[in-house]
Amino acid sequence: MTIKYLKKSPKTSSTDDKKTREIVQKLLDDLKKSREDGCKQLTKKFDKYDGDIIVSKERINEIKKSLDQKTKDDIQFSYDRVRKFAEAQLKNYGKDFEVELSKGLYAGQKLIPVNTAGCYIPGGRYAHIASAVMSVTTAKVAGVKNIIACSPPKESVGAHPAIIYTANLCGADVILNLGGVPAIAAMTYGMFNNAPADILVGPGNQFVAEAKRILFGKVGIDLFAGPTEIAIIADETADPEIVAFDLVGQAEHGYNSPAWLYTTSKKLADAVIKRVPELISELPELPKSSAEAAWKDYGEVILCDTDEEMAKISDEYAPEHLEVQTKNLKWFHDRLKNYGSLFIGEETTVAYGDKCSGTNHILPTKGAGKYTGGLFVGKFIKTLSFQRMTKESTKEVGSAAARISRYEGMEAHARTGDVRLKKYGYPLK
């Protein structure tokens, strides 16, 4: 079969991206400094509006009284169906389903894995075998048909042998001896006879992270992952030796890896502050130099008065890895809201999750735990909605859609409802 364009567009949706990006970046930089005043000035300039920014309760009540009842009924009609569908999605989370929202109106969702995933496996400073397990395996379980794995090569060796073995074991279809920005570019643009990746996943250094950030939109990504983080919540019952070992265990990742302790015990805090440098000094040279710099420049110990204060400061930081070593483990498990992965009790530690215990490993950093979890099977799966209707249901749905479109000023939208109402023999309202 030959594909023939009967009409082809001279532009794409990305044609003006560079210019737009420059404009938006300048505006964001300016607004970060000018804050509320800047927002007000730009609103006055572009929207010609010089009134209150925050909509008052009084204004909301005025609008409730002023809108005609038919408009409110149509909005309610839309709201009821959107809410009903959202409730069905929540009830059937992770499943295909179909539900009748009103007579003759059927809606549902299908879960479809992406076709091609690009998995970046770090291998520069350390050979991250576990990252190969966490990314490739998860993509395979999700049903991804084509998995490309990239890892930085060493001179005359290529990628680390254990990484190659692991990626192959876990189901990678292609393994490339590529690292850094070239790896990200190769997977995104479909180089070396591979299909372009639909999603890029896996941790990396700041150059890998920035390449993913720049390409996001053209390709999906797991998350904006920065330097790894650990936080520990500990009270007087915690073992300072264990706490210190765990902080150092993550600090060895790199010079900019934060390690934070939130505690209600001054005695514990003092012991940890004394012990961490001692433990670092006993490490081999490579992890020693990384951990020294990380603890010096990014380490923090925060003394709190109560468990609630520890929970509050932890949620503000939203650490990538969060350990809880207290007498009130259940309370913290129930209370804490923002983190990448939680390690409850002295018996578990970040390294277990990183290497082999099974929980999600590629996790949000830099506060991203406030809005997302880590890389999990669902990141490789698109949750896609669909709808189908009877002709009879058009009478109600088509009329409401046409009216709402006209409230919005979108006449062409409205006429797509009108034409069906007319064809199926229903009067236009």
Give the C-alpha separation, 171 to 132, whole Å: 10
Residue with tokens 């999600």: 360
Asked whether 42 and 27 are in contact (CB, 8 A), the reply is yes
Query: What are the residue numbers of the active site?
Result: 320-321
Those residues whose C-beta lies under 8 Å from the C-beta of residue 211, and which sit 6 or more positions away, are 180, 181, 184, 185
Burial class (CB in 10 A: 0-12, 13-18, 19+), 19: exposed
Asked whether 116 and 145 are in contact (CB, 8 A), the reply is yes
What would the two tokens of residue 238 be? 């915690």
CA-to-CA dists, residue 133 to 149, 161, 226, angstroms: 11, 14, 20
What would the two tokens of residue 140 be? 């395979």
Name the DSSP class of 94: T
Asked whether 117 and 380 are in contact (CB, 8 A), the reply is yes
